[in-house]
């Protein structure tokens, strides 16, 4: 051996990995000026986030009957984000909905 170092990396090419979009934040239900998300939608969103981070397919959690509403403050706590981040996710969701409506028209 003449001291040369091989520069090959053992990672798979990015073209072979499926490209996935980041999960869409659930729709917010507004009651008397306060925002809520159904528990089933929040659980599905969390399952999608975990699957997205791991690069696997999400597993649908069992449905809860009756489906309770979770306040946005509790949503932020469960996701480990602040109120501003939750607000940004809601704004992105509304912007995407407005873009899809204009594209459909």
Does some domain include residue 100?
yes
In this predicted structure, what is the pLDDT of residue 4? Answer: 53
In this predicted structure, what is the pLDDT of residue 103? Answer: 82
Does some domain include residue 3?
no
Q: Which structural domain range is residue 51 located in?
A: 24-104
Check residues 21 and 58 and name the one with the higher pLDDT: 58
- CA dist., res. 30 & res. 8, Å (int): 54
Does some domain include residue 99?
yes
In this predicted structure, what is the pLDDT of residue 13? Answer: 42
Does some domain include residue 1?
no
Domain count, the chain: 1
Give CA separation, 67 vs 37, 63, 64, in Å: 10, 8, 5
Q: How many CB atoms lie within 10 A of CB 70?
A: 20
- Residue 101 has φ and ψ, to the nearest 5°, of -70, -40
Assess whether pLDDT exceeds 60 at residue 77.
Answer: yes
Q: Which residues on adjacent β-strands are paired with residue 70?
A: 37
Radius of gyration over alpha carbons of the chain, in Å?
20
Does some domain include residue 95?
yes
Q: Which DSSP category does 63 fall into?
A: P
Does some domain include residue 87?
yes
Non-local CB neighbours of 44 within 8 Å, separated by 6+ positions: 26, 58, 60, 61
Does some domain include residue 84?
yes
Check residues 42 and 9 and name the one with the higher pLDDT: 42
């Amino acid at each position: 051996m003449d001291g040369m170092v091989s520069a090959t990396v053992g990672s798979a090419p990015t073209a072979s990995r499926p490209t996935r979009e980041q999960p869409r934040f659930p729709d917010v239900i507004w009651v008397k000026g306060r925002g809520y998300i159904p528990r089933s939608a929040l659980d599905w969103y969390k399952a999608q986030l975990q699957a997205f981070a791991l690069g696997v397919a999400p597993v649908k959690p069992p449905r809860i009957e009756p489906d309770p509403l979770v306040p946005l403050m509790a949503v932020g706590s469960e996701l480990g984000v602040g109120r501003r981040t939750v607000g940004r996710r809601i704004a992105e969701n509304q912007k995407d909905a407005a873009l899809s409506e204009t594209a459909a028209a």
